[in-house]
Amino acid sequence: MPQYVLQLSPEQKYAVVVDSKLSRLYVFKNVGGLPHYVADYYVTLGKAGVDVLYDDTGERPGAKFASMELIGIPHRIVIGERGLKEGKVEYKGRHDAEAQQLALPDIAKFVQLKLCA
């Protein structure tokens, strides 16, 4: 774990660590200033049979979203700094009119339910 994640400030609810070589995203919750493991979303979704695409191209979000639309990605999950401060991520299905904010620990279960619908 990176050194800067070992101690969290009180206002930081979550920390996200991305291992781009392994295509994994680890989420830690701040409990008394120390990170406590919440989930590994690539592994969690991958074990459920979900193919995960992590876009690390460095493009602006709009360009990334346009690329996802062109190749037909059915579910978009955006984990951003603003949402993380509130413990939320953004979800948008390909045919949804609007994105919705979901609690970070609930996203894997939410996507699994969407896939079964």
For the stretch 59-95, pLDDT in tens is 888 898 888 888 888 888 888 778 877 888 899 998 8
- Give me the chain's average pLDDT, please: 80
Mean pLDDT of 10-33: 77
Say how far apart CA 99 and CA 12 lie, in whole Å. 24
Residue 101 phi, psi (nearest 5): -90, 130
pLDDT score recorded for residue 98: 94
The domain total for the chain is 1
Residue 22 phi, psi (nearest 5): -100, 0
pLDDT score recorded for residue 2: 56
Ranges 14-23, 54-63, 79-88, 94-103: which has the least confidence: 14-23
65: domain CATH number?
3.40.50.800
C-alpha torsion 50→55→61→63, nearest 10: -100
Tell me, what amino acid is at 39?
A
Tell me, what amino acid is at 45?
L
